[in-house]
């Protein structure tokens, strides 16, 4: 089904954890990372803690194995594969980092389902150390967002504006669905229009911000609480624009029967004034 672009956050949306904390906690660096954050922004702290892990003999292979254990549930995998099979273009917009995201997607054989991954640059240097850089170099200049809640290294709202420009240039009337959970997901949600949908994770910071400022969003709001909800809500929204009957069978997914999601899910959430 041409015309729908689904943009996913990654941490606590595709995977059910914060990938930075997942690695740091497993490697025993939680207290040290908290110390680093007293003087460094998060992104810089991540690069520094990776330097220290490397000096302690922690290898890239160890980090990869930890990332492969990050919780990514079957319903989320099914949602990704089914939305793709229904013709959606899928992208990731995340304040994690490219190495983490690609490692996890490759492990679950999901890399090919996404047309673009936008995140903080990262690479393994010649010494085998993971280097993590900010998406926006805040040491040189500000990204210019005036909302006041975007981290200095990334304004997802400005990136969302670029995504919208790129898809509108294709000459096809596109609809955006955005899924997220954190404060940084609020700014891109504000860039969506009346024909778009935002899927905030219930009782997470994005959901709280939306309900605190109910009149600021133009997009339709459809919340979700776990991987089962994510799959059901997303596929109902995708199928709502499709008139023909569809049945998808995947080796890792159950059959999606016509009408299933319309029957069991509520419509757009009403946001009180």
Q: Is 223 noted as a catalytic residue in this protein? A: no
d(CA 123, CA 85): 31
Three-state DSSP state, 46: helix
- Residue among 11, 20, 181, 185 flagged as catalytic: 11
φ, ψ of residue 5 to 5 degrees: the values are -115, 120
Q: What DSSP string runs through 77-93? A: HHHHHHHHHTT-EEEEE
- Residue among 9, 47, 95, 181 flagged as catalytic: 9
Q: Is 9 noted as a catalytic residue in this protein? A: yes
- The alpha carbons of the chain give a radius of gyration, in whole angstroms, of 19
Could you list the beta-strand ranges (E) of the chain.
4-8, 89-97, 114-120, 122-124, 130-132, 175-180, 197-200, 220-221, 248-250, 253-256
Active-site residues, by number, are: 9, 11
């Amino acid at each position: 089904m041409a015309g729908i672009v689904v943009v996913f956050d990654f941490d606590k949306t595709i995977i059910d954890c914060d990938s930075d904390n997942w690695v740091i906690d497993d490697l025993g660096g939680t207290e040290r990372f908290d110390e680093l954050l007293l003087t460094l922004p998060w992104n810089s702290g991540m690069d520094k803690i990776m330097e220290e892990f490397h000096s302690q003999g922690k290898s890239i292979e160890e980090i990869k194995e930890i990332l492969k254990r990050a919780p990514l549930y079957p319903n989320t995998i099914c949602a990704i594969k089914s939305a793709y099979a229904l013709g959606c273009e899928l992208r990731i917009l995340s304040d994690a980092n490219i190495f983490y995201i690609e490692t996890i997607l490759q492990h679950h054989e999901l890399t090919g389902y996404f047309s673009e991954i936008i995140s903080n640059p990262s690479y393994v240097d010649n010494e085998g150390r993971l280097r993590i850089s900010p998406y926006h170099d805040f040491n040189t200049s500000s990204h210019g967002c005036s909302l006041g809640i975007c981290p200095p290294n990334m304004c997802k709202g400005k990136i969302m504006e670029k995504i919208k420009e790129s898809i509108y240039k294709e000459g096809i009337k596109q609809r955006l669905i955005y899924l997220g959970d954190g404060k940084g997901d609020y700014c891109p949600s504000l860039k969506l229009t009346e024909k778009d949908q935002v899927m905030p994770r219930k009782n997470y910071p994005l959901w709280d911000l939306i309900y605190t400022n109910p009149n600021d969003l133009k997009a339709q709001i459809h919340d979700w609480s776990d991987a089962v909800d994510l799959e059901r809500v997303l596929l109902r929204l995708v199928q709502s624009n499709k008139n023909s009957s569809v049945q998808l069978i995947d080796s890792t997914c159950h059959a999606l029967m016509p009408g299933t999601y319309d029957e069991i899910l509520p419509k757009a959430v009403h946001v009180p004034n």
